[in-house]
Amino acid sequence: MNRWVYLFSEGSKEQKDLLGGKGANLAEMTKLGLPVPTGFTVTTEACLYYLNHGNHLTDEMKDQVMAAVEQLSVKTGKRFGDVTNPLLVSVRSGSKFSMPGMMDTVLNLGLNDQTVAALAENSQNERFAYDCYRRLLQMFGNVVMGMDNNDFEHRITALKKINGLSFDNELTADHWKQIVSEYKEIYRKKLQREFPQNPIEQLYLAIEAVFGSWNNQRAKTYRRLHDISDDLGTAVNIQEMVFGNFGESSGTGVVFSRNPSLGDPGLFGEYLINAQGEDVVAGVRTPKPIQVLADELPKQYSQLKEICEDLEKHYHDMQDVEFTIEREKLFILQTRSGKRTSKAALTILLDLHKEGIIDEKELVRRIEAKDLEAALHPNFDEQELKNHESFLSGLAASPGAATGAAYFTAEAATEAKARGERVVLVREETSPEDIEGIAVSEAVITSRGGMTSHAAVVARGMGICSVVGCERLTVLEENKAVVGDKVIEEGAILSVDGTSGRVYFGEIPMEEVTNTVALDELHVIWDRHAAIKVRANAETPNDIETGMALGAVGIGLARTEHMFFERSRLLQFRQLILADSLEERLDVLKDLKEVQKQDFKFMYEAAQGKSTTIRLLDPPLHEFLSKGTEECREVAKELGKTFNEVKRKTDNLAEVNPMLGFRGLRLGVAYPEIYQMQAEAIIEAACEVTLEKGYPIAPEIMIPFTIDAEEFARVRTSIEGAIQKSLSARKQVLEYQIGTMIEIPRACFVADEIAKHADFFSFGTNDLTQMALGLSRDDSPRIINQYMEAGIFADDPFQVLDVAGVGALMKLAIERGRQVNPQLKIGICGEAAAHPKSIAFLNDLSIDYISCSPFRIPQAKMTLAQTAVKDQKQVG
Ligand code: PEP
Ligand code: MG
């Protein structure tokens, strides 16, 4: 016999695969003794069997469902279909991963023409009973039989209009009775059959509909967008109904145990008095903030609060809880880990840790790269914002800032995105059908709905900024909306601030956020776990400051040739390489030394005394030579030389393959005075900052492109001579180191020889990859893409370290280098260093640091710390 059905009392939270997330958590809460309405789960395996075997419930499944219904009868004292004391149930989907709004729910199942009368009698509330019945007809018609919900809703709107009423709760029992018979008529006309009066038939059809909904279009789209496998199936949860629409001491709501937008502690959510679940999420009535419940139903509020706190402790995470209060009795209908914004995610994890709910390793393990990324993303520039007046405001549902063109349907938004536009989706409210449109949008604005409405929840989950419930906004037709006397035409540019809930016309510039309080705390924690330090590749004071703010322990690579890209500097550099004699060159170098000294002083100050590795010039010459006749003419004019002189020299210096030409140390050997000048500038700047600022600067001078130990040794001797001259002229003592980049395969093989002369190694894996693979770092993307598409390469070796080739060379160099000098400091500063996949490999090498561009530092630190605590999961 196959087991297709489990009572809530039989399962646990570990069984998400079999019972789905909702079912497993309902079982867990039942086990914890929380007030969960009794029920049972039909498994995901039953769903898969159903979908793969002709879409019908087997007799075995039906028998097990009926046996479980019998158990519900025993527990509740009510019977399914009984005309005096009827049992009513809800039927809800629930897959392993939560897919909010993607799947279907039917409430009040078990009602028919007889049982509705019993419900009216038992509850002494006829209005309530017929409201429940019409809801069943409507949901059953829509979800199970695929009818259009508007066909039903229009009847209510028409009835309210005829009677001059505004709200559903003003409709009387007789109104609902009338609606019930109209609904039955619609049902009959549309489907050519009667609404099934037999509750068992209702139940089987509803279970089949939930199983079938696994394959509806919006569920498929959601799975595609969230990388959820199609092979999981959904479970079905059948649960005794509890009624939030029983009157003024009943209600229903959704709460988060912490603010899912900002992460603040304390309950956050909404509820409606005298309503059923779908009223809250549908955004039809505007719900009240949960704190108001503390006044309206104080006892239930504190019970709810306590339960949420207990659930957080039990699950070690922020929870999203659905509840219903029936005549003052609180029931919990669902709990799950709450979706949250990136900002909230970091704040919540840090708070959970501070409150002792998760340990430090769990905190490190659970931070997601996307949340970290978002913490580093731009917001609107504060100053700029002051010059703009918002024309629309609403609830700040999902923070962040975005600008795009307004579109009013998901289709129009998708098309505009395909044309390359940035899009803001503007809707009255969103529904799961809009999911594709939301996914392509930079921001979502709605005129209706609260903080837990579909638009708010989905946008937050996707990290898309969103403002909902903008009451002054009226979406008029497919290509227009109005706000008072202002018109939003299709394509109008809007700037949306999801943090303040304000919307502006036109584009507002963004500001770069370089750090947050949460990041500061995280850096301290990551540093405690990571085995390898992270430095910044940076040379401008601005980049250095960003690097430091983002957690760098120093500078791992300052490329001095980058200091010559600016026009006036470029000219000086050209003067240097076009000089005809040593005298002329020395003349230029004298000026350049002063300029470089200033550069280095700024750098040391920006790094505030932290380790600073400055790389001597490594200019691929073609980047600095004038390009054509016209440019040669201009350069000649600017340098006071003749055109012919400049042209001849430029032609002489031109290389067929400049990337393998006159680079790095080759320059140092041919023109020792250039490196000498740089070394003097580095040392003299360090001397001055040490005196002026009071923190000792111990520069690390890095020589690029070394091929050979003798080559390196000669240049070292040459620059050390210059350094010593500088120091003795100043009568100052200064610590410094001279090391090399390892970026040529030969250097890896002769690393033991080089290590005799070098104080440190830094792997330049950009060049090392280029040379190890024989693929140009500049021209190869096409080849690499082809190789990745063909499945020859799994990754781009310039982005993810090629462990088999380049990694092997690194291992060899480390081994040989440390044979000679066990203390040899070793780093890596190529682009691939910061990639999480590279870090998995680098973490096992005995290197001291990786160096990467400033904005990649936090993620690199995070990954290093996560790699260190990977297998040490929190227990409990
Ligand atoms: C490298 O080659 O990896 C490196 C960091 O140097 P550059 O990119 O400047 O050649
Ligand atoms: Mg290089």
Which positions ≥6 away from 762 have C-beta within 8 Å?
556, 557, 613, 702, 739, 740, 741, 742, 826, 827, 828, 829, 851
CA of 747 to the centre of ligand 1 (A): 15
Return the amino acid letter for 513. V
Instruction: Give the model confidence (pLDDT) of 480-501 as tens digits.
Output: 899 999 999 999 999 999 888 9
Please say if the pLDDT value at position 149 is more than 90.
no
CA of 702 to the centre of ligand 1 (A): 12
| Portion of the chain with pLDDT greater than 70, in percent | 95
Q: Which of 563, 741, 763 maximizes ligand 1 atoms within 8 Å of its Cβ, making it the mutation to test the pocket? A: 741
Q: What is the mean pLDDT of residues 545-561?
A: 92
Q: What is the mean pLDDT of residues 325-339?
A: 94
Instruction: Give the model confidence (pLDDT) of 301-322 as tens digits.
Output: 999 999 999 999 999 999 999 9
Q: How confident is the model at residue 779 (pLDDT cuts 50, 70, 90)?
A: low
Torsion sign over Cα 495, 498, 499, 504: positive
The binding site for Mg(2+) comprises: 743, 767
The binding site for substrate comprises: 559, 615, 743, 764-767
The minimum-distance atom of ligand 1 relative to the CA of 767 is: 2
Instruction: Give the model confidence (pLDDT) of 24-54 as tens digits.
Output: 999 999 999 999 999 999 999 999 999 999 9
Is the shortest distance between the CB of 399 and ligand 1 below 6 Å?
no
Query: Measured between alpha carbons, how far is 363 from 374 in angstroms, rounded to an integer?
Result: 18
Neighbours of 699 (CB within 10 A): 25
Distances (CA, A) of 6 to 34, 68, 181, 754: 18, 8, 37, 69
CB 94 within 8 A of CB 25: no
pLDDT, greater one: 653 or 187:
187
The minimum-distance atom of ligand 1 relative to the CA of 831 is: 3
Which positions ≥6 away from 790 have C-beta within 8 Å?
none
Average pLDDT, the chain: 90
The predicted pLDDT at position 502 comes to 94
Please say if the pLDDT value at position 514 is more than 50.
no
**Which range is most confident: 93-102, 529-538, 771-780?**
529-538
Q: Which of 659, 766, 769, 777 maximizes ligand 1 atoms within 8 Å of its Cβ, making it the mutation to test the pocket? A: 766
Is the shortest distance between the CB of 400 and ligand 1 below 6 Å?
no
Is the shortest distance between the CB of 743 and ligand 1 below 6 Å?
yes
The sheet with strand 395-398 has its strands ordered as 392-393, 502-505, 493-497, 401-407, 423-427, 443-446, 465-468, 395-398
Q: What is the mean pLDDT of residues 761-770?
A: 95
The predicted pLDDT at position 876 comes to 45
CA of 549 to the centre of ligand 2 (A): 26
Nearest to 242 by CA among 15, 354, 89, 67: 89
CA of 765 to the centre of ligand 2 (A): 7
Is the shortest distance between the CB of 324 and ligand 1 below 6 Å?
no
Q: Which range has the worst mean pLDDT, 103-107, 261-265, 344-348, 438-442?
A: 103-107
Which positions ≥6 away from 398 have C-beta within 8 Å?
261, 341, 444, 456, 459, 460, 463, 464, 465, 466, 498
CA of 557 to the centre of ligand 2 (A): 10
CB 60 within 8 A of CB 3: no
Q: Which of 829, 835, 842, 849 maximizes ligand 1 atoms within 8 Å of its Cβ, making it the mutation to test the pocket? A: 829
Q: How confident is the model at residue 617 (pLDDT cuts 50, 70, 90)?
A: very high
Is the shortest distance between the CB of 829 and ligand 1 below 6 Å?
yes
Is the shortest distance between the CB of 764 and ligand 1 below 6 Å?
yes
Q: What is the mean pLDDT of residues 669-687?
A: 96
DSSP letter, residue 232: S
Neighbours of 454 (CB within 10 A): 24
Structure tokens at 515: 């750090």
The minimum-distance atom of ligand 1 relative to the CA of 830 is: 3
CA of 711 to the centre of ligand 1 (A): 19
The sheet with strand 288-289 has its strands ordered as 288-289, 265-273, 251-258, 319-326, 329-337
Please say if the pLDDT value at position 552 is more than 50.
yes
Q: What is the mean pLDDT of residues 289-312?
A: 97
Which residue in the list 454, 523, 529, 757 is annotated as catalytic?
454
Please say if the pLDDT value at position 121 is more than 60.
yes
Q: Which range has the worst mean pLDDT, 107-121, 178-192, 784-798, 803-817?
A: 784-798
CA of 768 to the centre of ligand 1 (A): 8
Is the shortest distance between the CB of 830 and ligand 1 below 6 Å?
yes
829 is catalytic: yes
The minimum-distance atom of ligand 1 relative to the CA of 829 is: 5
Q: Which of 535, 559, 560, 771 maximizes ligand 1 atoms within 8 Å of its Cβ, making it the mutation to test the pocket? A: 559
Q: Atom 4 (ligand 1): residue with closest C-alpha?
A: 764
pTM confidence score: 0.75
| Portion of the chain with pLDDT greater than 90, in percent | 68
Q: Which domains does the chain have, with CATH numbers?
A: 5-240 (3.30.1490.20), 251-342 (3.30.470.20), 378-511 (3.50.30.10), 519-618+664-872 (3.20.20.60), 621-654 (no CATH)
Q: Which range has the worst mean pLDDT, 253-257, 340-344, 348-352?
A: 340-344
Ligand lying nearest the CA atom of residue 561? 1
**Which range is most confident: 421-425, 645-649, 798-802?**
421-425
718, burial (CB in 10 Å: exposed 0-12, middle 13-18, buried 19+): middle
Ligand lying nearest the CA atom of residue 768? 1
Is the shortest distance between the CB of 766 and ligand 1 below 6 Å?
yes
- Scan for tokens 């139903």, then name that residue: 297
638, burial (CB in 10 Å: exposed 0-12, middle 13-18, buried 19+): middle
388 is catalytic: no
Which residue in the list 132, 632, 748, 829 is annotated as catalytic?
829
